[in-house]
Every structure is written in structure tokens, then in C-alpha cells.
Amino acid sequence: MIHPVTLISRWTVGSPQRQQAAADAELARLRRIGLPDGCHDLTIYTSLNGESILLRAELAGVHAFHAFPVGPRGAADRDEVDQTVPGIVRHGVTGYRSHRRIHNAMGQAVCTSIVETHFYEPDEALYWAVEVANTGRWSGSLATMFYVSLDHSQALSVTDWSDVNAAPTKPPSDAPRSRSDGNQHNRCEVYRAHGTLTTARR
């Protein structure tokens, strides 16, 4: 059985003007060349602070992840984006598998908060994802999806919100700790969807 993989790639661009230009250029490039084989859909997000963009792709499996042209693998294809916005810092790519989804309410999402948690001990990411999913502290959100990275070193929570003022701008202080307390690093960012491309699933 082939398990789907979610790809995450974050780029630092530095300002709202550069953010808009980079997101537009990457979206236009992907519309022109089409999504890679094995990619079902891809969404480009822009952070509310104007400093970064994030690519989130839903892939058919691990093979599609390793073949996906993002980061250093796709440097040649991104010349046109870098010419439009020089100096983009790309923070690599991470592949995740979904762990659990929690639905809290119906509504239209206006923003999405993404919390990345990095661990320095094996299998702590899965433990953290289980603990966070069981705390119920995501009240006020529409839905949350929890992920664990392919190498089990990172956990990811992606939460949709109907009110931008309710979305957290930093990791919650009451989040569960890893079993090796303090041996983790959290990062939280709030984004809006800039554009989505889809392809027919076979």
C-alpha cells in the first residue's frame, strides 16, 4: 500500500513586497509547467508578517517526494523566480505523513497556523503528536491536522481558523513537552492561502 506524503517547504523573502512578488512568480511558473508527476495538489501560502512563503504539496507517496523539484533539486527551474526576487532563502523540504485530523467546527477558513516542532531524540515527534492531539486545546479552530515527518524527527500541526485574531502567533505555552523535556524546538507562523493548483488523481 502506498501512503500519501505531505511536502512542506518554507522560503524567507524578507518583506511584504518581495513576498507578493515571489508567491506570484512561483504560482505563475507552476501554472505554466504544470505540477510534477505524483503531485495531487499544491498550495502556496503567504505569512501574515510578510516575511515568508510556504509551499504545501500533497503527493502520492515517498517516491514522488524524493522526485519533487523543490529546494536544491529544483534550483535550475527557479531561475525566473530568483530573477524576479533575488536573495530568497529556501529552508529545504520536509516530507510528512498524516497522523490524525480533528474537526472542531464548520466555517470558512481565513488563515492557517502552522506549528513546526523539531526534536533531537528518535520517535519523540510521534509521542508529541499523540499527546497534543489528545489535549483538546485547539478549541476555537475549525480543524487541525497532525503530521509526523518521514524520519520521525519533526511534528507538524496545521490548523485552520475562521478568525485571524484567534490564530496563535507563537507556540502555546501549555503544549506538551517531549519525554526528554526541553529537547525540542518550536516554530509557529500564521499564513493565508495565496493560490492552489490541482491535478486529476489517477
Amino acid at 107: G
pLDDT given for residue 72 in this prediction: 44
pLDDT score at 1:
64
pTM, to two decimals: 0.87
Domain boundaries along the sequence of the chain: 5-94+192-198, 97-190
Q: Residue 141 in contact with residue 166, Cβ under 8 Å?
A: yes
Residues of the chain with pLDDT under 70: 1, 70-78, 122, 128-139, 170-185, 200-202
CATH topology match: 5-94+192-198 vs 97-190: yes
**CATH number, span 5-94+192-198:** 3.30.70.100
The topology (CATH level 3) of 97-190 is Alpha-Beta Plaits (3.30.70)
User: What pLDDT is recorded for position 200?
Assistant: 62
Whether the CB-CB separation of 156 and 14 falls below 8 Å is answered with no
The H-assigned helical ranges of the chain are 16-33, 62-67, 79-84, 124-135
